[in-house]
């Protein structure tokens, strides 16, 4: 049957689908029918007597390739039998397996999966006697991640650590040595991991031109999907397979290149016209997903990009409400306002058609509590739910014991953090404590010197039952050394998640109330059964998806864009693309939330937040602006306020002033008071850490060291018992004196 391209495709799609000779780059804007264009191009090639065996379709998932080939068969009326479609890695493996001898694998080759790679690294680590006795040494999975990132990004191990895991820089020489031995062992044993597939195929095509030319004759038509997500070696492979003037069609969107952390290089798609002679560029700009008001906003975001292919998304869906920008009083009230927005949207859309998007997984913690309190079901994608994260459970275990000393599970958890205490021993100690076995507890105290300080700390926490913020702050300081020991690979990231708990707790009057709201979450089985639930997702996890209503939160500097991105222009460009991807997930409604202040646990106050530059540059014409009033309501930003009202005409919030340091609490951090219940063990309690006095060295604001933040410089003393310290990489922190070591 003949395909009616005139009826099935718009003009730009049709131009791309009917293209036959020479390289072509299809810039497919969000929601512009990219997959449909590829499907009809495949069908057109076969319809014009190109054998399916002469077509190579490279994608990033096997499922995507299979779906496109299947749909093309339906359009054509017959299957595309013989067409090669799959991922870069699967194609590389098939070529290398057929040419193993020429590739230097005379005895054949074996492909390792991720677990095989980790096992080999573990064996080599033991053989080289690396990390023996060092509990903070990176785990095998982390070592594998660092090595694979180094290869995919084609950066040195040191470069990867400096950018992404600076806390592991002390282990750089070891990791470099391990990477060298890993490469040597693989070659000696005829093994390849997934990264080797791409680099070994490249080497084969460069060193054996007859094989390269044979592949070019076999596949005169090459198509690559999601070209903006290719890394350096994948782009070189495309050029090797097609030549500078080959029939290659690359489809993608430079504005949706958001996977640099995986090795994707946006320059691959931006420089396509320079890499291929007489390359044609076709833009798909008609959007089939969003309303025009939403596209007007996304077009403004995209216009601010420094390097891009110009495009202006448009749609036939002319109607619809303008996006809303809501400035809330704080990041805490943000959660309340978002719940209100969800309830409002739910009157027009099913809950599963409403999504809340955020830059990092931990940013949804306050919202998760608010949704639970409101009885609204939700599903989370990207990151884990706060009450499922191991480090959050660790910290909450201290507070659970402050609220309920008979909590056996919490006892087992916190006791397990002690050096030399395993699961069985933790259970025995817990039973001795709960059973009042003073003699048995005395034996454990003598055996484990870290036990008395823990018991004293828990006693101190019980006195703060009605001061949950102070209790959490104290528990976080006590838990800090365990955090870095238990999770040496990523503790800075986990620390950021714990800071969100400090933001949540300030609104509670007791530890019990705080724990109740955190734990009154529906059973996971019930959640799995609840199909109609709000979606919470990181922006990265949301790519390729769409919802009727989308809410984007935490649109302030240090959160979106992220703190790290503010230091490098190329990272800021990717953050802009991330914002574009987030906004283009919305079909009917879009709301952007800007908290006016954010809670700083170390300063014990809310500090003014700087609005995200991606929001600040939006003109009033593309969005309706609202501000939260001091009574919790919302008003339009341009609405006149009667004299004496609590809000201001310009909609900006008055500056937030940090309060004076709180009065000295009824406990001394160094003294670690012991209650009567702990009397049998009081005599064995470890001596408290020495009190830090403001001696001459401190008056000059010297250096200090913290278990989590490392070395820093004291810049001020905050009476009665804290310092303000500047930690490189972390910024200013306020730390209790007893938890820093003076240098």
> How far apart (Å, rounded) are the C-alpha atoms in residues 697 and 27?
62
Pairing of strands 597-600, 247-252: unpaired
Token pair in block for residue 486: 């238990």
Residue 33, marked binder: yes
Residue 32, marked binder: yes
In what helix (H) or strand (E) does residue 583 lie, and over which residues does it extend?
A: helix 569-583
> How far apart (Å, rounded) are the C-alpha atoms in residues 35 and 71?
10
**Phi/psi-derived region of residue 617, left when phi > 0, alpha when psi is between -120 and 50, beta in every other case:** alpha
SS3 556: strand
Q: How far is CA 507 from CA 254, 330, 397, 553, 614, in A?
A: 43, 12, 20, 20, 30
Residue 21, marked binder: no
Residue 34, marked binder: yes
**Phi/psi-derived region of residue 627, left when phi > 0, alpha when psi is between -120 and 50, beta in every other case:** beta
C-alpha 228, offset from chain centre: 20
Contact yes or no for 17/282 (Cβ under 8 A): no
Strand partners, 635: 627
Measured at the CA of 77, the angle between CA 72 and CA 81, to 5 degrees, comes to 60
Q: Which of 723, 726, 665 is nearest to 692 (CA)?
A: 723
Beta strands (DSSP E) in 359-458 are 378-381
Q: How far is CA 432 from CA 285, 419, 617, in A?
A: 70, 18, 62
> How far apart (Å, rounded) are the C-alpha atoms in residues 290 and 273?
30
Residue 31, marked binder: yes
Token pair in block for residue 222: 């090459």
Strand partners, 247: 221
> How far apart (Å, rounded) are the C-alpha atoms in residues 672 and 455?
9
Residue at token pair 């870290």:
450
Strand partners, 548: none
> How far apart (Å, rounded) are the C-alpha atoms in residues 510 and 118?
45
First-to-last C-alpha distance (Å) of the chain? 82
Per-residue HEC secondary structure of 434-456 comes to HCCCHHHHHHHHHHCCCHHHHHH
Strand partners, 703: 713
Residue at token pair 């009450």:
387
C-alpha 111, offset from chain centre: 29
Residue 664, marked binder: no
Residue 702, marked binder: no
Annotated binding-site residues for ATP read 28-35
Annotated binding-site residues read 28-35
């Amino acid at each position: 049957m003949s395909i009616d391209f005139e009826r099935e495709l718009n003009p730009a799609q049709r131009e791309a689908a009917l293209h036959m000779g020479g390289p072509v780059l299809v810039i497919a804007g969000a929601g512009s029918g990219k997959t449909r264009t590829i499907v009809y191009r495949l069908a057109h090639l076969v319809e014009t007597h190109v054998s399916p065996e002469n077509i190579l379709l490279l994608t990033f998932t096997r499922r995507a390739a299979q779906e496109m080939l299947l749909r093309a068969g339906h359009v054509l009326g017959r299957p595309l039998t013989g067409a090669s479609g799959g991922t870069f890695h699967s194609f590389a493996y098939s070529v290398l397996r057929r040419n193993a001898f020429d590739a230097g694998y005379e005895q054949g080759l074996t492909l390792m999966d991720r677990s095989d790679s980790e096992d080999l690294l573990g064996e080599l680590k033991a053989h080289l006697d690396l990390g023996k006795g060092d509990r903070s040494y990176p785990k095998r999975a982390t070592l594998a991640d660092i090595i694979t990132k180094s290869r995919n990004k084609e950066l040195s191990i040191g470069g990867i650590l400096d950018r992404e895991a600076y806390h592991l820089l002390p282990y750089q020489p070891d990791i470099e040595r391990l990477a060298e031995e890993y490469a040597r062992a693989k070659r000696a044993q005829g093994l390849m991991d997934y990264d080797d597939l791409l680099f070994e195929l490249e080497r084969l095509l460069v060193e054996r031109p007859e094989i390269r030319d044979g592949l070019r004759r076999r596949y005169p038509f090459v198509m690559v999907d999601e070209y903006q997500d290719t890394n350096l070696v994948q782009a070189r492979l495309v050029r090797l397979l097609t030549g500078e003037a080959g029939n290659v069609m690359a489809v993608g969107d430079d504005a949706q290149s958001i996977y640099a952390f995986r090795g994707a290089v946006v320059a691959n798609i931006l420089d396509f016209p320079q890499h291929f002679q007489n390359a044609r560029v076709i833009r798909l700009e008609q959007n089939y997903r969003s309303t025009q008001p939403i596209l007007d906003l996304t077009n403004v975001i995209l216009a601010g990009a420094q390097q891009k292919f110009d495009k202006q998304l448009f749609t036939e869906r002319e109607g619809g409400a303008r996006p809303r920008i809501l400035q809330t009083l704080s990041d805490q009230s943000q959660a309340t306002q978002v719940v209100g927005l969800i309830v409002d949207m739910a009157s027009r859309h099913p809950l599963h058609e409403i999504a809340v998007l955020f830059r990092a997984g931990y940013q949804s913690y306050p919202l998760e509590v608010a949704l639970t309190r409101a009885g609204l079901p939700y599903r989370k994608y990207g990151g884990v739910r706060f009450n499922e994260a191991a480090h959050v459970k660790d910290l909450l275990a201290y507070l659970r014991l402050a609220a309920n000393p008979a909590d056996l599970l919490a006892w087992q958890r916190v006791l397990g953090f002690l050096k030399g205490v395993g699961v069985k021993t933790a259970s025995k100690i817990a039973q001795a404590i709960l059973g009042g076995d003073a003699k048995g507890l005395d034996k454990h105290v003598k055996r484990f010197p870290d036990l008395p300080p823990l018991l004293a700390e828990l006693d101190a926490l019980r006195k703060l039952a009605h001061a949950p913020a102070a209790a959490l702050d104290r528990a976080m300081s006590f838990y800090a050394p365990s955090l870095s020991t238990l999770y040496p690979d990523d503790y800075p990231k986990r620390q950021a998640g714990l800071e969100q708990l400090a933001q949540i707790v300030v609104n509670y009057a007791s530890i019990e109330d705080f724990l109740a709201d955190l734990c009154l979450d529906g059973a996971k089985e019930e959640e799995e059964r609840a199909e109609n639930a709000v979606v919470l997702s990181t922006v990265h996890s949301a790519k390729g998806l769409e919802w009727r209503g989308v809410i984007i939160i935490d649109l302030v500097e240090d959160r979106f864009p992220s703190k790290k991105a503010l230091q490098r222009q190329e990272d800021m460009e990717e953050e802009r693309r991330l914002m574009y991807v987030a906004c283009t997930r919305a079909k009917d409604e879009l709301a952007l939330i800007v908290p006016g202040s954010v809670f700083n646990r170390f300063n014990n106050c809310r500090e003014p937040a700087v609005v995200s530059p991606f929001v600040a540059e939006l003109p009033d014409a593309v969005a309706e602006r609202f501000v939260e009033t001091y009574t919790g309501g919302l008003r339009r930003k341009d609405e006149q306020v009667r004299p004496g009202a609590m809000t201001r005409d310009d909609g900006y919030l008055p500056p937030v002033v940090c309060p004076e340091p709180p009065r000295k609490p009824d406990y001394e951090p160094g003294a670690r008071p012991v209650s009567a219940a702990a009397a049998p063990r009081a005599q064995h309690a470890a001596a408290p850490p020495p009190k830090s006095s403001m001696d001459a060295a401190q008056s000059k604001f010297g250096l200090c060291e913290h278990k989590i933040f490392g070395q820093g410089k004291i810049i001020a003393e905050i009476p009665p018992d804290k310092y303000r310290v500047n930690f490189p990489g972390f910024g200013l922190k306020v730390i209790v004196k007893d938890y820093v070591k003076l240098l």
